[in-house]
Amino acid sequence: MAIDLGDGVKDLFNIVKHKRFVIPAGVIVLVLVMAIFIGPKVTGFAGFSNGLDECKTDLGICGTNVDSLTTTNTQLEADLAASQNTIVEKNNEIKILQDQNTLDRENWEADYDKLAGKFNTVVDKNGNNLCCMQQILNPDYDSYNVEDGEIKCSNNGTFAIEC
């Protein structure tokens, strides 16, 4: 029992049989078709495409990071400016306190000098008066010392008396 393939198919087989270029052309067409469907995976194009997608994702992350860093930098610059203003204010306060301290010290020194002068005057008058009265009893007394907060008459003291 023979199968009738028809005249067109018979002609194709006859062409293929007699023409040697058809088989290499068919192989080339087959290779091209396979290259289109399988080629990207074999040639690495699919990996390159995936790598490109990863790069796009990484670039998006980098863009987000740059935005975040820009915001942080802006905040840090604002904080720096505020800190510099605070330093200027504190330096002004220090200057005011130093000036006030100088005035307080000068006032204290002036007050001390006044009090020391008054004290010396009081001690001198009282020492002179006391030792002049005691000189009546002991004529050797010609001076006095101030020891432990007391006036002590003597004949070789630090402060001379005038009676």
Is residue 53, in this structure, part of any structural domain at all? no
Phi, psi of 39 (to 5 degrees): -50, -45
At 106 the pLDDT is 87
- Which pLDDT tens digit goes with each residue over 120-133? 899 999 999 999 99
Q: What is the pTM of this model?
A: 0.40
Single-letter code of the amino acid located at 36: I
- Which pLDDT tens digit goes with each residue over 28-37? 877 777 767 7
Is residue 98, in this structure, part of any structural domain at all? no
- Residue 46: pLDDT over 60: no
- Which pLDDT tens digit goes with each residue over 53-109? 777 787 788 888 888 899 999 999 999 999 999 999 999 999 999 989 888 888 888
Q: Tell me, what DSSP letter sits at residue 20?
A: T
Q: What is the extent of the structural domain holding 155?
A: 120-163
How many domains, the chain? 1
One-character DSSP codes across 103-160: HHHHHHHHHHHHHHHHHHHHHHHHHHHHHHHHHHH-TT--EEEEETTEEEEESS-SEE
Is residue 139, in this structure, part of any structural domain at all? yes
| Alpha-carbon gap, residue 27 to 9, rounded angstroms | 20
Is residue 66, in this structure, part of any structural domain at all? no
- Residue 11: pLDDT over 70: no
DSSP E strands, the chain: 143-147, 150-154, 159-160
| Alpha-carbon gap, residue 149 to 12, rounded angstroms | 144
